[in-house]
Structure 1
Amino acid sequence: MKVKVCCKNLKRCDGKSAVKALKGEFPDVKWKKKDCLGRCGACKKGAIAEVGKGEAFLCKKDPDTLYAELKKLLVSAKTG
């Protein structure tokens, strides 16, 4: 599984610690940081991430909520 995060969004919403925690919990996941995911409308609303090859795009109000949602997705993908 691959997760893409937007560097600009992480800085804007202070989400680096959430991504760092998830990297530690899910070392087998490929994490890719991009300068911009091209989702400016969503980026202004909250913390964003893209999961898989367009499988899911998450936009949550804050990094903690994004962390919880990503964790739920990654656990379910891992179990199957």
Structure 2
Amino acid sequence: MKLKYCCKNFKQGSKSVFKSLKEEFPELEHKKKDCIGCCKQCSKQCIVKVGKAGVVCAESPDLLYAQLKQLIHGTYEEAVHV
């Protein structure tokens, strides 16, 4: 799973999410990009692009972290049960 973070969105609080998830899930691909192409959402909320088309947004870094963690665990559970 690839997670792409917008460097401009770090001001919204996603930098702490990037650091925490990179440390907790080093096996995932974490990329910092100058822009991930979601500028309208990025200027208002914490945001991370998941895979090629998915986007996860949240009002706060804590909510974003919780949503991404749930998504990651769901993906791992599916992989284990397949």
Larger Rg: 2
Query: Fold conserved (TM > 0.5)?
Result: yes
**Counterpart for residue 68 of structure 1:** 66
- For structure 1, which runs of at least 5 residues remain unmatched after alignment? none
Does the CA-based 8 Å contact 1:13-1:46 persist in structure 2?
yes
Shift >4 Å, 4+ stretches: none
Q: CA RMSD in A?
A: 1.0
- For structure 2, which runs of at least 5 residues remain unmatched after alignment? none
**Counterpart for residue 48 of structure 1:** 47
Aligned residues: 78
TM-score by length of 1: 0.89
Q: Displacement of 1:25 after TM fit? A: 1.4
Q: Distance in 2 between matches of 1:23 and 1:53?
A: 19
Q: Distance in 2 between matches of 1:63 and 1:44?
A: 14
